[in-house]
Amino acid sequence: MNTFGRYLKITTFGESHGPMMGAVLDGLPANLPIDPAVITAELARRRPAGDAVSTSRIEPDEFQIVSGLCDGKTSGAPLTILIPNVAQNSEEYKDVADIFRPGHGDFGWYHKYGTMPGPGGGRLSGRETVARVAAGAIVKAILKRQGINIYGYTKQIGPICAAEREKEFIEQNPYRLPDRAAAREAEKLIADLRAAGDTIGGQVVIVAENVPAGWGSPVFGKLDATIGKAMFSIGAVKGVLFGEGLSFATMRGSESNDQLGPAGPLTNHAGGTNGGLSNGAPIVVTLVVKAPPSIALTQKTVNTKGEPCAITIKGRHDCCLCPRIIPVAEAMLALTLFDAFLERKLA
Amino acid sequence: MNTFGRYLKITTFGESHGPMMGAVLDGLPANLPIDPAVITAELARRRPAGDAVSTSRIEPDEFQIVSGLCDGKTSGAPLTILIPNVAQNSEEYKDVADIFRPGHGDFGWYHKYGTMPGPGGGRLSGRETVARVAAGAIVKAILKRQGINIYGYTKQIGPICAAEREKEFIEQNPYRLPDRAAAREAEKLIADLRAAGDTIGGQVVIVAENVPAGWGSPVFGKLDATIGKAMFSIGAVKGVLFGEGLSFATMRGSESNDQLGPAGPLTNHAGGTNGGLSNGAPIVVTLVVKAPPSIALTQKTVNTKGEPCAITIKGRHDCCLCPRIIPVAEAMLALTLFDAFLERKLA
Amino acid sequence: MNTFGRYLKITTFGESHGPMMGAVLDGLPANLPIDPAVITAELARRRPAGDAVSTSRIEPDEFQIVSGLCDGKTSGAPLTILIPNVAQNSEEYKDVADIFRPGHGDFGWYHKYGTMPGPGGGRLSGRETVARVAAGAIVKAILKRQGINIYGYTKQIGPICAAEREKEFIEQNPYRLPDRAAAREAEKLIADLRAAGDTIGGQVVIVAENVPAGWGSPVFGKLDATIGKAMFSIGAVKGVLFGEGLSFATMRGSESNDQLGPAGPLTNHAGGTNGGLSNGAPIVVTLVVKAPPSIALTQKTVNTKGEPCAITIKGRHDCCLCPRIIPVAEAMLALTLFDAFLERKLA
Amino acid sequence: MNTFGRYLKITTFGESHGPMMGAVLDGLPANLPIDPAVITAELARRRPAGDAVSTSRIEPDEFQIVSGLCDGKTSGAPLTILIPNVAQNSEEYKDVADIFRPGHGDFGWYHKYGTMPGPGGGRLSGRETVARVAAGAIVKAILKRQGINIYGYTKQIGPICAAEREKEFIEQNPYRLPDRAAAREAEKLIADLRAAGDTIGGQVVIVAENVPAGWGSPVFGKLDATIGKAMFSIGAVKGVLFGEGLSFATMRGSESNDQLGPAGPLTNHAGGTNGGLSNGAPIVVTLVVKAPPSIALTQKTVNTKGEPCAITIKGRHDCCLCPRIIPVAEAMLALTLFDAFLERKLA
């Protein structure tokens, strides 16, 4: 379905080439001041930077809040944000309307609904995430006022790994790498891939600082589980890892346990949760991001009649999704944490 | 909360040292034949094997189905399974009743509920999963009749990786490794760890074969997202990866895309899903499992008054969770897939 | 919250004096043809007729479907309808911004949210129902194609009871009375009430013909329960009665039971359900509707500071809600029945 | 489904002639003291009194709490109550196993699930409500400690209406009538009906005193709507009315509005809610209860092959459901109000 969250619910709607995208946020407490500028800022962070790494379809994202605000504060009513689509170009998709694009959801959509998802991927398009970012911006700002700081960075783009963690540099380069040398390498890599008509995967890290201990729930509502669901609901995310991630496979209990002091965990191998509940250390989650499946190279595929054919995808596409996935993942983490904050009130 | 699933709901209850564990399955279609032997078999697979790798607390798991069956078939009413606890020993926990165990959920539980979770971890105990395995056994058997085969194996225990994929060997060794040489190495490693009072992490792989294309949902209900949530709801799971997993970070689109033929994907890099919908290829999900946090080595911690102290955990504990997590993860995958099967009926 | 339904979900948003009202319908099966004219028609039925019985605030209700349709058919994506507000006049409410209106939800809203609900009642306004009617129109039309016919009529307005059941006359008079004589009496009554600055209650009957037997669920999801919830979610509904309604209190089992023949119930005392499941007879539900609380007479009340004061409500208000509640109740019944239709697919 | 509630969830399971009934309460805040005696007391109130008005199947209802309590307090884990069935007698139902009982849910169940619901009505039996009463007893006691008092009485049995409101007498007579003269008349009426093999309907009133203003939600989650759903989820309830009930149909706005003073509403025509939110006045809800459909008189019906036949129901049945429905309705009101209490915490 198109709704996420249990106490704070976000419902999104709209298709890539339809008139608008939208989000309804239901469950925000009343009387919280909302500054629309935070939405503008987060949408700007999600927008393609005009560089080679991202798509050249650039939407102005001039949103409108049409409900839920009263004198600049939440009213208790559902808060709705509409974001018109203006830069769509369905012409680009005409030739491939009946052909499944490898690596895309078209094939599954067709087997479920019996039709193709529409131009630009319809509801399957990454454009859908604009609504999440807009709604998440509000929630991220509310959490910020509670002292919770959410941010993300690119850890790896293909063979290039960030060795440094220069936090200030993250938002100063189109890759959101926290490492100047890695960013220079990335520029070259992306240029080569653009020339080759190919794309590349990577990893991003999302962090939430100052989450109090005791958020989450012990069994099916583990904080890891709800965050995991949130992150896997973002297209192209093929792996979610907490704390030490894959290293846990080779660590002994004596190495992976975070011993405790009066102020909480003395280390943060776990990435901020134990037994599904936050432990007061930063939530650290790593996403494995696959390469964008829309490539200019010719690929084998079939059409809706099951006939084999070849496909060469034109359109305007991202070369690596890492930088643009970061604001989306931050938004999803904010929505998930606020849900846990509300659930905590009921314990 | 203690309920999982949207169309098929499982609710579990019971604490580690309480009189019983239980599961209520609500939403099973009527008139499906149920053979209780499948529950017996799956509970046996989850039960510690009496070897060094697992805990020495061995429960007989003599379950009772108290509702939902009529003449050996589902009736449409909720199906409830009760599983008595008989081998609990709260004495083992008396000394540490007020001390937070590093790596456990005690600390978060205390900050949420203001009390300790009870002897043996109460609701946080791995014992809770017995109810999932019992309920999942039923669903796994129903899926099996639909042709869907779910199984799992240990891919890695600490430094030992399975090089072979000898499927028949999996259930013949206590580590569920598909590789005879690796199993021999594991035996030695576990013996060393037991002697050292330490534990170890690993990785397991869970597979579902013959899932039809078109299960799942495009946005927040992505099959990856619901499977991800299911897997992260299992204690000790710190990472979930689909298909190629971490390798996606370095793969180009031309490498990671699964090109298509008339029979579906020609490769299965994706692990069976695209855009949140199954594509007909096997669902392949890898779990990163941390080392059991209950170790016999002395660790720094604090008690509920915030006073620093040391803890040495006695009790009876697993040395590596991989083998016993497999039936739990299979059960969770079965529950998740059946939910998607039901959702598919509504499209 | 602002969402109704379990398998088919409707979420509404917007405030009386905000820029627009909206509805998101999530869960419609794909490939169902939708004719927007059915929305136009139902919105016209809900719109004040320009007569004395209803408010003089008349909205054009020029709606826009902004998602979920593809070539005139449902796509499987959430279907969103936006309906601008253009005739609001907040001036009318300025004087009473801090005064609780007797019989309205202001008082409870204030105690819940700590603020007043906004001009025109904000989210509490009957204007909210325009979104339900728009969405319900689509569902009503889908059910119609399945042979299920939903309609309603006014049974009683104050002292005037409809003695006849002239179905064709219902939509030909502003009261939706199925009785010409009663309609003539109603005209006089309404004129007198307008003159007196007062309002009046009544009863309406909503019917769904040709609902198959076996819809609904035996325990908490009884069809009566979900219909009951749907009806009580409409402002001013103070009673919901099935079939014989209040007469059940004096009927013997031998009188109230519907005996059965090969074609189903031989009578329809029950109003179409037994044990929470439809029995194939028409669903017949009666709503007791209270008089609109906005009256021109002076009433005792308090302001938000708790100070006693008097209130005389100007604004533009309905004199009797029965006729305008009918399309809303039909919409809610359609939404509820379609949910049951979907749930039936899972049995 | 078999779950009710949004923040506090109750799931019930078990069939009339199965080994036990059960309830899982999920969402109770931690650290609330629970005295099992309140369950004993409420189950006793629900149990047939051994008089003519109720069934002669008398269950001891010796319940067991198997999870969720720690040192006599709620732990935050789901609280589960099991209540064995011991007095069932399936012999009584053998002859009519394939015949639909008029006025029962058998017919709808069969059309939904393709089978009969089992002896004694299986899941459709009134026996299911024992689980609700047990769980509701806990919640009712918690609300009581918050100052909220829930009680009910029989307002009418067939032609007999209670003229007095002698509160102390309610629990002193098997009809729960608050009127000694009416109780004497009822005794005679019931004796006559028993002799005639017939049954009778009635009305009950359920009251919740001291509910604070501001509980409930403005749109689909109106307190009236959730209470309405709760009440209609009880078998045999065919009408739900708030406050003045049917009289609202003839009341003018100037009569039905509750004017306000500094302490809240000056009258309580509305029955405690406006616009879906509580207003501080007592919640007063009236239920119209149909006659028990199991009568000893011969009725026309059909069997599962659609063949006409006659049925004469033996078994042990209630003659009027009013007195025994009261504790069930009180339990459902308690569960609904506590849910609203929790929801209020999130505003």
Residues of chain D positioned with their CB less than 8 A from the CB of A27: 346
**Residue A73: closest C-alpha in chain C:** C115
Residues of chain B positioned with their CB less than 8 A from the CB of C76: 218, 347
| pLDDT, position C79 | 98
Q: Do A70 and C9 touch (CB under 8 A)?
A: no
Cα A279–Cα B109–Cα A244 angle in degrees, nearest 5: 35
| pLDDT, position B53 | 87
Q: Do B342 and C342 touch (CB under 8 A)?
A: no
Alpha-carbon torsion B117, D4, B230, A221, what sign?
negative
pLDDT over 80 (residue C93): no
Q: Do A15 and C67 touch (CB under 8 A)?
A: yes
Among B residues 184-203, those touching chain A with beta carbons less than 8 Å apart: 193, 198-203
Give me chain C's average pLDDT, please.
Answer: 96
pLDDT digit string, tens, across residues C40-77: 999 999 998 778 888 888 888 899 999 999 999 999 99
pLDDT over 90 (residue B88): no
Among A residues 317-346, those touching chain D with beta carbons less than 8 Å apart: 342, 345-346
| pLDDT, position B102 | 97
Question: Closest partner residue to A66 among C14, C122, C123, by Cβ?
Answer: C14
Strands A79-84 vs A73-74: parallel, antiparallel or unpaired: unpaired
Map tokens 């799931």 to a residue.
D11
Q: How far apart are the C-alpha atoms of B88 and D71, rounded to whole Å?
A: 18
Question: Closest partner residue to A26 among C3, C68, C82, by Cβ?
Answer: C3
Among A residues 244-283, those touching chain B with beta carbons less than 8 Å apart: 244-246, 248-262, 264-266, 270-271, 273-280
- The torsion angle over the Cα atoms of residues B184, B186, B187 and B191, rounded to 10 degrees, is 150
Instruction: List Cα–Cα distances, C326 to A109, B203, C144, D101, in angstroms.
Output: 38, 60, 17, 34
The region, left, alpha or beta by phi > 0 then psi within -120 to 50, assigned to residue D187 is alpha
pLDDT over 90 (residue D119): no
Residues of chain A positioned with their CB less than 8 A from the CB of B123: 218-219
pLDDT over 80 (residue A326): yes
CA max distance for chain C: 66
CB-defined contacts B:D, below 8 A: 130
Helix, coil or strand: residue A294: coil
| pLDDT, position D58 | 87
Q: Do B123 and D75 touch (CB under 8 A)?
A: yes
Residues of chain A positioned with their CB less than 8 A from the CB of D29: 346-347
Map tokens 């609203």 to a residue.
D340
| pLDDT, position C228 | 98
Give the pLDDT band (50/70/90) at residue A17.
Answer: very high
For chain B, report the end-to-end CA distance as a whole number of angstroms. Answer: 28
Q: Which of D331, D347, D327 is nearest to D46 (CA)?
A: D327
Question: Closest partner residue to C108 among D112, D213, D259, by Cβ?
Answer: D213
Query: Is the complex ipTM higher than 0.90?
Result: yes
Q: How far apart are the C-alpha atoms of A272 and A276, rounded to whole Å?
A: 10
> Looking at residues A151-172, what average pLDDT do you find?
98
Q: Does B240 touch chain A (CB under 8 A)?
A: yes
pLDDT over 80 (residue A315): no
Give the pLDDT band (50/70/90) at residue C89.
Answer: confident
pLDDT digit string, tens, across residues D218-264: 999 999 999 999 999 999 999 999 999 999 999 999 999 999 999 99
β-bridge mates for residue D149, sequence order: D209
Give the pLDDT band (50/70/90) at residue C119.
Answer: confident
What radius of gyration do chain A's Cα atoms show? Answer: 21
The number of distinct structural domains making up chain A is: 1
Give me chain D's average pLDDT, please.
Answer: 96
| pLDDT, position D54 | 86
CA B122 to chain centre: 18
**Residue C211: closest C-alpha in chain D:** D108
pLDDT digit string, tens, across residues C252-293: 999 999 999 999 999 999 999 999 999 999 999 999 999 999
Give the pLDDT band (50/70/90) at residue D120.
Answer: confident
| pLDDT, position C21 | 98
Q: Do C30 and A76 touch (CB under 8 A)?
A: no
Q: Which of D252, D236, D234 is nearest to D244 (CA)?
A: D252
Residue type, D43: L
pLDDT over 90 (residue D92): no
| pLDDT, position B131 | 98
Q: How far apart are the C-alpha atoms of A78 and B344, rounded to whole Å?
A: 29
pLDDT digit string, tens, across residues A169-180: 999 999 999 999
| pLDDT, position B11 | 98
**Residue B74: closest C-alpha in chain C:** C347
CB-defined contacts B:C, below 8 A: 22
- Going by the DSSP 8-state scheme, the letter that residue D103 receives in this structure is T
pLDDT over 90 (residue B286): yes
Q: How far apart are the C-alpha atoms of A50 and A58, rounded to whole Å?
A: 8
Q: Do D346 and A347 touch (CB under 8 A)?
A: no
Residues of chain D positioned with their CB less than 8 A from the CB of A7: 346
Q: Does B214 touch chain C (CB under 8 A)?
A: no
Q: Between these two residues, C313 and B37, which has the higher pLDDT value?
A: B37
Which subunits sit against C, judged by 3+ Cβ pairs under 8 A? A, B, D
| pLDDT, position C58 | 86
Q: Do B346 and C347 touch (CB under 8 A)?
A: no
Instruction: List Cα–Cα distances, C65 to A211, B159, C102, D41, D230, in angstroms.
Output: 40, 57, 37, 56, 35
Residues of chain B positioned with their CB less than 8 A from the CB of A16: none
Q: Look at the pTM and tell me if it is higher than 0.90.
A: yes
Q: Does C41 touch chain A (CB under 8 A)?
A: no
pLDDT over 80 (residue A92): no
- Going by the DSSP 8-state scheme, the letter that residue C63 receives in this structure is -
Q: Which of C256, C242, C332, C221 is nearest to C288 (CA)?
A: C242
Q: Do A291 and B253 touch (CB under 8 A)?
A: yes
Record the tokens describing residue C306, joined without a space: 């708790």
Structural domain boundaries, residue A162: 3-346
CB-defined contacts A:D, below 8 A: 22
pLDDT digit string, tens, across residues B174-189: 999 999 999 999 999 9
| pLDDT, position C207 | 98
Residues D190-195: contacts with CB within 8 Å, 24+ apart?
Answer: D190/D51, D190/D52, D190/D53, D190/D157, D190/D319, D190/D320, D191/D52, D193/C252, D193/D319, D193/D320, D194/D52, D194/D319
pLDDT over 80 (residue B316): no
Helix (H), strand (E) at residue C159: none
Helices assigned H by DSSP within D214-260: 223-232, 253-256
Q: How far apart are the C-alpha atoms of A324 and A42, rounded to whole Å?
A: 11
Q: Which of A332, A147, A344 is nearest to A226 (CA)?
A: A332
Q: How far apart are the C-alpha atoms of A315 and A243, rounded to whole Å?
A: 37
pLDDT over 90 (residue B332): yes
pLDDT over 90 (residue A271): yes
Q: How far apart are the C-alpha atoms of A225 and B5, rounded to whole Å?
A: 13
Q: Does A7 touch chain C (CB under 8 A)?
A: no
Residues of chain C positioned with their CB less than 8 A from the CB of B218: 76-77
> Looking at residues C158-170, what average pLDDT do you find?
97
| % pLDDT > 70, chain A | 99
Cα A153–Cα A154–Cα A158 angle in degrees, nearest 5: 175
Instruction: List Cα–Cα distances, A41 to A44, A84, A136, A333, D156, in angstroms.
Output: 5, 17, 12, 17, 64
Q: Do A260 and B290 touch (CB under 8 A)?
A: no
Distance in Å, alpha carbon of A251 to nearest chain C alpha carbon: 44
β-bridge mates for residue B83, sequence order: B21
- The torsion angle over the Cα atoms of residues D242, D248, D251 and D252, rounded to 10 degrees, is 80
What radius of gyration do chain B's Cα atoms show? Answer: 21
| pLDDT, position A57 | 81
Residue D262 backbone phi and psi in degrees, to 5: -55, -25
> Looking at residues D116-142, what average pLDDT do you find?
95
pLDDT digit string, tens, across residues B128-150: 999 999 999 999 999 999 999 99
Distance in Å, alpha carbon of C267 to nearest chain D alpha carbon: 11
Q: Which residues contact C164 (CB under 8 A, 6 or more apart)?
A: C178, C179, C180, C181, C182
| pLDDT, position C63 | 97
| pLDDT, position B137 | 98
pLDDT digit string, tens, across residues D30-63: 999 999 999 999 999 999 877 888 888 888 889 9
* CATH number assigned to the domain comprising residue C199: 3.60.150.10
Span of D45-59, D123-137, D294-308 with lowest mean pLDDT: D45-59
Helix, coil or strand: residue B114: coil
Name the percent of chain D in helix, strand, coil, to the closest 5: 35, 25, 45
Alpha-carbon torsion D74, D77, D81, D82, what sign?
negative
Among D residues 51-70, those touching chain B with beta carbons less than 8 Å apart: 64, 66-68, 70
Q: Do C26 and A3 touch (CB under 8 A)?
A: yes
| pLDDT, position D151 | 98
Instruction: List Cα–Cα distances, A136 to A331, B127, D203, D234, in angstroms.
Output: 4, 37, 50, 41
